[in-house]
Amino acid sequence: MLNSVRLRLTLLYVLIFGALLGVFSLSLYALIRKDAHDRFDAALTKAARTVANLFHHEMIENGHVEIVATAHAIREYQQPNLFLAIFRDDRLLDANHIQNVESVDRHPAATAAKDFLAQAVARHDPILTTIAGIGLGEWRLVAYAPGGESAEYVIVVAESGRDLMDQMRSLRRIFLLSLPAMLLIAGAAGYLLARKSLAPISEMTAQAERISAENLHERLPINNKNDELGRLALVLNELLARIESSLDGMRQFTADASHELRTPLAIIRGEADVALSQDREPDEYRETLAIIQDEARLLSGMVEDMLALARADAGKRRLRKEEFYFNDLIEECVHSARALASNKNLSLNFEPSDDAVFRGDEDLLRRMVVNLLDNAIKYTPDGGSVSVKLWREEGRIKLRVTDNGIGIPAEAAARVFERFYRVDKARSRAEGGSGLGLPIVKWIAEAHQGSVSLESAPERGSSFIVSLPA
């Protein structure tokens, strides 16, 4: 059950709310109770002082006949729930709520008051106390000796706390009943709130469950792209988009690769079938084998390139960085390309950089230079020129391979770095190209945090510029 975030949130909410509500109710109850008791005591004290005043006036009016003054004062202040008594020393003069003075001892308030008379006389200030009357519940009592008379009179006022206790009991009952009710309401509200807040997640889960490789173009619903859940959906959607694009790339790559492999394989098969269909002269076999050899070479070059790119995609080809002289590396590449260039009567120049110590993956960078050089030579007609330049600029090392060959049309320029893309398929094939040379150049440049760009004009030539952080 606690596997549901909704329930866990609700439970936590109810617990926190319950604790807060409990503390609040207890404090409020304590405050109300104290206030009620203070008021109760204040009223009793006030009553004692009033009776004392009345008694004082009655004494004057009645020529200090205490019995009369006592009776008058008590009668005048008479209130149904108040027990009033006036003592002189520890003798009761008069009290209300009694048949006669003798029977007063049976009143618990009067009996209890006797214990406080001496204290009251000593203090001349109202003394408050609680007495537990048998069968009468709790009483609150004030004993007050005002002084100023010829003898010490003590005014005693007492009142049963039953009403107050009843009030407090009702209050407690209200709190005790409302607390669970409020918790129940809070729990229900918390549950609904959690359900509403988490609804987008349920929606996302349901939608994500429906998404598979076949409908990877579908996206998770976004209710509000600025809130946390909206941002989560946005991030997941971006992830889906990346997965979709890489899956598309893989599909495309597989489709293109099979397509590319089909032609040389068809040629090999065709040549072999024809050669084997009847007996032939040795020269004919030789010619057939030469064609098969060419195609096989093309095939292995292509497979090797595909493998390099597949490894790069899988992140398996890590850079093996070491320091080397870039000039030397290019020098070597130019040197090996020279034979090819001279076959076509191409001039091939290299303009080195002053300082070309570089840290990078030498094997990969060599492959990058070879690919660019191969292309320049392939796509430049006889008698043309190819030049390579290396230089430093603003903390970067730059390499430019320029030719004055057939160039690349503007609409193709953006696509030459795509896998298997060729401007002129027949020509590229004839030159032994597979359309993977430039994608490999791009990957190697980017693996070194660099970039490759192209400046080209049809019929005037092309310039590939690689820029790497030095």
Residues at the contact surface with ligand ADP, assessed by CB under 6 A: 375-376, 379, 403, 405-408, 416, 421-424, 428, 433-439, 462
Q: Closest Cα partner for 365 from 335, 320, 413, 304? A: 320
Residue 185 or 414 having the CB closest to ligand ADP: 414
Instruction: Determine the Cα–Cα distance for residues 148 and 357; give it in Å rounded to an integer.
Output: 115
Residue 353 or 434 having the CB closest to ligand ADP: 434
Name the 3-class secondary structure at 351.
strand
Instruction: Determine the Cα–Cα distance for residues 292 and 425; give it in Å rounded to an integer.
Output: 20
Residue 388 or 438 having the CB closest to ligand ADP: 438
Instruction: Determine the Cα–Cα distance for residues 187 and 185; give it in Å rounded to an integer.
Output: 5
Strand partners, 469: 396
Instruction: Determine the Cα–Cα distance for residues 66 and 56; give it in Å rounded to an integer.
Output: 10
Contact 179, 25 (CB under 8 A): yes
Residue 72 or 367 having the CB closest to ligand ADP: 367
Question: Distance from CA of residue 7 to its chain's centroid?
Answer: 20
The distance of closest approach from Cβ of residue 233 to ligand ADP in the complex, given in angstroms and rounded to an integer, is 39
Instruction: Determine the Cα–Cα distance for residues 306 and 359; give it in Å rounded to an integer.
Output: 26
The distance of closest approach from Cβ of residue 328 to ligand ADP in the complex, given in angstroms and rounded to an integer, is 24
Strand partners, 127: 143
Residue 50 or 263 having the CB closest to ligand ADP: 263
Residue 129 or 387 having the CB closest to ligand ADP: 387
Residue 201 or 447 having the CB closest to ligand ADP: 447
Q: Closest Cα partner for 448 from 355, 329, 333, 318? A: 318
Instruction: Determine the Cα–Cα distance for residues 351 and 197; give it in Å rounded to an integer.
Output: 66
Residue 94 or 374 having the CB closest to ligand ADP: 374
Name the 3-class secondary structure at 301.
helix
The distance of closest approach from Cβ of residue 196 to ligand ADP in the complex, given in angstroms and rounded to an integer, is 55
Instruction: Kindly give, in sequence order, each residue whose CB lies less than 8 Å from that of residue 119, ignoring residues fewer than 6 positions away.
Output: 127, 143
Q: Closest Cα partner for 452 from 402, 405, 408, 417? A: 417
The distance of closest approach from Cβ of residue 460 to ligand ADP in the complex, given in angstroms and rounded to an integer, is 10
What would you measure as the largest C-alpha separation in the chain, in angstroms? 167
Contact 133, 158 (CB under 8 A): no
Instruction: Determine the Cα–Cα distance for residues 7 and 18; give it in Å rounded to an integer.
Output: 16
Residue 59 or 330 having the CB closest to ligand ADP: 330
The distance of closest approach from Cβ of residue 308 to ligand ADP in the complex, given in angstroms and rounded to an integer, is 13
The distance of closest approach from Cβ of residue 377 to ligand ADP in the complex, given in angstroms and rounded to an integer, is 8
Place of tokens 């959690």: 194
Q: Give the Å distances, CA to CA, from 66 to 16, 55, 109, 281.
A: 65, 9, 22, 162
Contact 376, 385 (CB under 8 A): no
Residue 147 or 383 having the CB closest to ligand ADP: 383
Strands (E), 258-380: 321-325, 347-351, 357-361
Residue 73 or 436 having the CB closest to ligand ADP: 436
The distance of closest approach from Cβ of residue 416 to ligand ADP in the complex, given in angstroms and rounded to an integer, is 4
The distance of closest approach from Cβ of residue 397 to ligand ADP in the complex, given in angstroms and rounded to an integer, is 21
153-160/137-144 β-pairing:
antiparallel
The distance of closest approach from Cβ of residue 4 to ligand ADP in the complex, given in angstroms and rounded to an integer, is 55
Contact 153, 88 (CB under 8 A): yes
The distance of closest approach from Cβ of residue 385 to ligand ADP in the complex, given in angstroms and rounded to an integer, is 12
Angle (CA) 184-189-193 rounded to 5° is: 150
The distance of closest approach from Cβ of residue 307 to ligand ADP in the complex, given in angstroms and rounded to an integer, is 15
The distance of closest approach from Cβ of residue 341 to ligand ADP in the complex, given in angstroms and rounded to an integer, is 13
Residue 126 or 439 having the CB closest to ligand ADP: 439
